[in-house]
Amino acid sequence: MKAKTACALAAVVCGVAGCGPSVESDAGMRVTQSKGRLMLLLREQGIKVGRNVADRPPPVRSAFEAFKAFAAVPVAERDLSSDDLNDGLLYEAGVYDWGDAWGETFQLSFVRQYATREGDLQQVELVADFSARVGKGLGASLTWSWDTGGSTSYEHRRSWISAVETSLTFRRVASASPLGYELRQGSAE
């Protein structure tokens, strides 16, 4: 009887703390938990977010391994719109200067985008920043999971991963250490 009580108490605590699905929610990660989940997966790969010139960050391949694991985490259906395209992946690369502390950099960006029930587009974005010269001759890239093939979210994810890993840009920089990584979550609107 004590074991059943302890299990029930643990389930209630986890439900309240957000460490797993509760009786009242459907299974899956909440959209609001996404950045934190990706941060944990990045740490497991030894990746710290930010720019630290004293340390060489792990290569992009390690960051992409964390992002692939993140992309496979199911999202609570109650957070998403009923649209078939409510959970997608984006790969983007190019030379950018956003006028921030990073200055002009070549960026590889991995994005998970959700269409929420509230009508918002939420994005969780992982960016690897390199010196701008790394991007010379590579050009800009943009690949959405919905455009890579398949009819299910699983097939879209698998074909998107394959498209990223076989792209010329990714293959050229996969083993390189960037200047650092950025991680953000917010509305795309």
Among 132, 143, 184, 186, which residue's Cα sits nearest to residue 167? Answer: 143
Q: Which residue has the tokens 């078939």?
A: 84
Sequence-distant (6+) residues with CB within 8 A of 154 are none
Per-residue pLDDT of the chain (189 residues; tens, 9 = 90+): 444 444 443 333 344 344 444 333 468 999 999 999 999 999 999 999 987 656 788 999 999 999 999 999 999 999 999 988 899 999 999 998 888 888 889 999 999 999 999 999 999 999 999 988 888 888 888 999 989 988 888 999 999 999 999 999 999 999 998 999 999 999 997
pTM of structure: 0.82
Structure tokens belonging to residue 39: 């941060």
Among 71, 80, 45, 43, which residue's Cα sits nearest to residue 59? Answer: 45
Among 72, 110, 105, which residue's Cα sits nearest to residue 91? Answer: 110
Would you say the C-alpha torsion 71, 119, 98, 168 has a positive or negative sign? positive
